[in-house]
Each structure stands twice: as structure tokens, then as C-alpha cells.
Amino acid sequence: MAGLGGRMSTVIKAKISKMLDRAEDPGETLDYGYNKQLELLQNVKKGIADVVTAKKRIQMQAQKHEQQIVKLDTQARQALAQGREDLARTALERKSGLQAELQSLDTQVKELEAQQEQLIANEKKLRQKIEAFRTKKEVIKAQYSASEAQVRISEAASGVGEEMADLGLAMQRAEQKTEDMRARADAVQELEAAGAFDDITALGSGGQDEIDRELAQLTSGAQVDDELAKMKAELGTGSGEADKPALGQGEQA
Amino acid sequence: MIVRIAGEGQFRIPDEDQDKLNELDNATVEAVDAGDEGRFQELWGQMLAIVAADGNALPEDELVESDIILPPRDTTIEEARHEFTGEGLIPD
């Protein structure tokens, strides 16, 4: 076995061969192997449940983002209604940053859901493999001599072991992804709470250069300008009257 | 021979495919070494396509080890750096 296989299932295979060496009687080895598989299956189920829980937490964070977006929109309207275009602009800038973040979170949650479905399907497959192992072990016990049985057990156990190692790897990937998303959502939340949202590009400048940042500002700026203009029109302050107090005009914010 | 796509399951493919896969495997190592993302995606897609075209999924009650294990379908070139090195996934 080469490449990924070597690394991925080494640990589990080592465990299995240790277990096979320990017992003298193949019958005993088989029962032990089967019980061990059931035990590992429980771990798999718990692992999948953890990923589902983590995903739900991320969805809750996304909901908070949504509430914050609505709030910032309201604040922008209020600010504009009172002639404070500067405040309105800041609120809309923050809103635009949050919207971008929310969009990326939504995409990632969808990806995570697909991964979860795959994990659940694979867990079912693993269960079927373990069930097949159970059937096979009874056949081996009944039909083969001790030395021959040892070889056949070893093959079957390695097959199940590989399936387990594969699911373990998939779970690890899903967990890593969830962890990354949660950390990112947390960071955004903290920045937003500290009112430093406009600095997010500067703070997260890991792979971004100056041009990236300027481009991001341009896009966000144009979007904000558009939205400001729209709000002004709705509030009836669009005809160069933006600097005057606009209370009582248009619809009340 | 039996090939596994990590996260998807095992497939039985004709032995003749080994040479084709090995060739692509070696080319993939080169693409990864060169940091050529486009070429990597192209070759990796071709490897998966061979398994999709010629492979038959193994029944659930067949308990065997794979001869080749391919990494997950959505492997990035960064992840591939750990897998496609030296002789690649398939020893020459």
C-alpha cells in the first residue's frame, strides 16, 4: 500500500495486528476484533454528532450576523433621516462587510452539510462492513483450521480497518473545516462588537496586498454609495438636501 | 485491482488501468512539484475519471484492503504536496 493509504491506516492497522497477535485462539481473536470494531463505531457516531453540533453553532452565528445587518440598516436610515450622512455611511460600510462575511459563511455551511451527509452514508457503510465481519467470523470459526483462520481474519480485519481509517480521515477534515469556520465567525463577531469592522481587511492581511485592500474598499464603497442614494431617495432627501435635517420628511425611520 | 477514493469507497478496476493511473500519478507529482495548480487539477480529474469509467463499487460484504488509495476528491494542491511526492501514490 502506498501514499495516503500508508499514512492513513497505519495506526489502525497497527492496533489490529497487535490485537491479532495477542490471542492464541482465532475464535477469541475474532470475537475481540468484532467487539473492538463496535467500540470504534461508537466513536465514529460521536464524532459525527460533534460535527453536527459545531455546524449548528455556526448557523447561530450566521443568524446573529443577519440580525446585526438589519440593525445597521435601520441605524443608517435613522442617521440619514437626521442629516448625518457620515454616520449613515459608516453603518452601511459595516453592513456591507458583514454581508460579505455572511455570504461566505452560508456557502461554507452548505459545503459542511454535504460533507456531513457523506459522513453519515459512510458510517452506514462501515456498519454494514462490521456486520459482514460478524457473519464471516462465524463461518471462519466453523470451517477453517487455526492457521488458515488466522490469515483470513487478518484480511477481513484489515478491510474493516481501512474503512474505519478512511471514515476517520473524513471526520478529521470535517472537524477541521468546522473549527476554521467557527474561529473566523468568532473573530468577525469580536471585531464587529469592538466597532472595528472597517479595519478587518487590514487586520486579516495574511495573504492580501495593498491592491487587494484598495479593490475591496472600492467595491464596498460603490455598494455603499448606491445604497446611500437609494435610502436618500426613499427618505426624499435625494435632491442635494442631504446636509439639512430631514426629520419629518418621507417615511419615518 | 481494488482502488479506494478516500471518503467515497472502494472500486474494482481492471488491472490494465494500473499503468494509466501510474503514468498520471507520476505526472501529477511533477505538476505538484512545479506548483502548477491548473495542471494538477487536470491530471487529478483524469485519475478520478478512470475510476469512474472503469470501476465497479465493491459490495459492502466484501472485506478487502485496497491496492491503491486515492486522496479525497476535493484535495487541494497544498494537501496534495503531502500525498504526491516521490513515487506518488502508486510505487513505480
Give A191-216 pLDDT, tens digit per residue. 666 654 443 333 334 444 555 555 55
Q: State pLDDT tens for residues A86-105.
A: 888 888 988 998 898 899 88
Q: Which residues of chain A neighbour B6 with C-beta distances below 8 Å?
A: 4, 8, 166, 169-170
Are B9 and A173 in contact (CB < 8 Å)?
no
Q: State pLDDT tens for residues B21-79.
A: 989 999 999 999 999 999 999 999 999 999 999 999 999 888 888 888 888 888 888 88
Mean pLDDT of A183-187: 77
**Taking CA atoms, what residue in A is nearest to B86?**
A3
Contact A157, A134 (CB under 8 A): no
Of the listed ranges A13-27, A74-88, B35-49, the least confidently predicted one is A13-27
Report field, pTM of the whole predicted structure over 0.90: no
pLDDT of residue A94: 87
Residue with cell 455572511: A102
User: What share of chain A in percent tops pLDDT 70?
Assistant: 71
Q: Does the structure show a pLDDT above 90 at A174?
A: no
Mean pLDDT of A26-35: 75
Q: What Cα–Cα distance (Å) separates residue A226 from each residue in A80, A197, B34, B39, B60?
A: 14, 20, 44, 41, 58
- Grid cell of B36 as nine digits: 502548477
Instruction: Find the helix packing angle between A26-81 and A85-143, rounded to 10°.
Output: 170
pLDDT of residue A237: 62
* Banded pLDDT at A186 (limits 50, 70, 90): confident
Q: Which residues of chain B neighbour A158 with C-beta distances below 8 Å?
A: 64-65
pLDDT of residue B78: 87
pLDDT of residue A220: 67
Contact A234, A251 (CB under 8 A): yes
Q: Which residues of chain B neighbour A136 with C-beta distances below 8 Å?
A: 61, 63
pLDDT of residue A146: 74
* Banded pLDDT at A154 (limits 50, 70, 90): confident
3-state secondary structure of A231: helix
Of the listed ranges A52-66, A124-138, A234-248, the least confidently predicted one is A234-248
Residue B26 in contact with partner chain A when CB distance is under 8 A: no
Q: What is the ipTM metric for this complex? A: 0.81
Chain A, chain B: beta-carbon pairs less than 8 Å apart: 79
